Amino acid sequence: MKIGVLAVQGAFAEHIAILNKLGVAALPIRLPPEVVGLDGLIIPGGESTSISKLIRDYHLSDEITSLAGNGLPILGICAGMILMSRRITDSSIEPLGLMAITVRRNAFGRQQESFETELSLPVLGNQPFPGVFIRAPIIEQAESTVDILARLNNTIIAARQGNLVALAFHPELTNDLRFHQYFLSIVAESDRFNLRGSAVAKGN
């Protein structure tokens, strides 16, 4: 299994370290040819305005959009979630529009720019998950095709639509590997991964 981590700006090194810890090959992605043969992609946290500009400058945005359309599992964290959305209420950046969600940037306000809190994430089991929020966005609205994975005080902070997963918080800044394992299980179950596996087995 080969997972790409978009590495134009932001917290990409932490994801690569966690994937390596889980025994998975992780590749930093900066240029379009590097996405060939990926089984999954992580769009890390950082500054959505910078990442948005850089992926356009590097001609990566069309590539990512078409891979998502072809069923590539993608995990977007914080700025990555902003980029995966269909609409951003308070920014002029044009998101990739991969998920039917509307997001608001920096939604926890100045008093609470960064904080950590225990989250209930039923897809990971009963143990609470450490939620690290850094100038985090929220999901203001999600269409019915989107499954809500977690809320904080009634606000949606994690969602999944098919093989696409978006989180407002940063699992890569904790020692809890469960969210990455969950994403890897989505990759392992994806049609794309399984079809590619059988093509490889047949020698194609």
- State yes or no: residue 104 binds ligand GLN (CB under 6 A): no
In the residue annotation, 47 being an active-site residue is answered as: no
> Which of these is catalytic: 14, 15, 63, 170?
170
In the residue annotation, 118 being an active-site residue is answered as: no
Binders of ligand GLN among residues 130 to 169 (CB under 6 A) are 134-135
Nearest-approach distance from CB 104 to ligand GLN, in angstroms: 10
Q: Which is nearer to ligand GLN, 1 or 93 (CB)?
A: 93
Q: What DSSP string describes 127-152? A: S-EEEEEES--EEEEE-TTSEEEEEE
CB 85 within 8 Å of CB 168: no
Nearest-approach distance from CB 138 to ligand GLN, in angstroms: 11
CB 179 within 8 Å of CB 173: no
In the residue annotation, 59 being an active-site residue is answered as: no
- State yes or no: residue 46 binds ligand GLN (CB under 6 A): yes
> Which uninterrupted H or E stretch holds 29?
strand 25-29
Q: Closest Cα to residue 150, out of 105, 197, 174, 117?
A: 117
Contact positions toward ligand GLN, by CB under 6 A? Answer: 45-48, 78-79, 82, 105-106, 134-135
